[in-house]
Chain A
Amino acid sequence: MSLIDTLAGLPLISPFVEFGFMRRALAGCLALSLGATPIGVFLMLRRMSLAGDAISHAILPGAAVGYLIAGLSLSAMTLGGLVAGIAVAVLAGGVARNSVIKEDTSLATFYLISLSAGVLIISMRGSNVDLLHVLFGSVLALDDAALFLLASFASMSIVAIAVGLRLIVLECSDPEHLARISRLSPLAHYGFMVLVVLNLIGGFHALGTLMAVGIMILPSAAARFWVCNIVPLLLTAVVIAFGGALIGLLLSYYVNLPAGPAIVLTLGGLYVLSMALGPLGPLVNRLRPRWHFER
Chain B
Amino acid sequence: MIQAQLEIQLIAAVVAAACALPGVFLVLRKMSMMSDAISHAILPGIVLGFFATSDLASPLLIAGATLTGVLTVALVEMISSTRLIKEDAAIGIVFPALFSVGVILIAQYAGDVHLDIDAVLLGELAFAPFDRLVVGGQDIGPRSLYLMSGVLVVNILFIVIFFKELKVATFDAGLAAALGLMPVLIHYLLMGLVSVTAVGAFDAVGSILVVALMVGPPSAAYLLTDRLSVMLVLSALIGAGSAVAGYWMAHALDASIGGAMATMVGVAFFFTWLLAPDKGYVARQRRRTRQRWTFATKMLTVHLLSHEGLPEAAEECREDHLTHHLRWEPAFATQAVKTAMSDGLVARSGPLLELTPAGRKHAARAVVEI
- Asked if chains A and B come from one complex, the reply is no
- Chain A residues within 8 Å of B, Cβ to Cβ: none
Chain B residues close to A by CB (< 8 Å): none
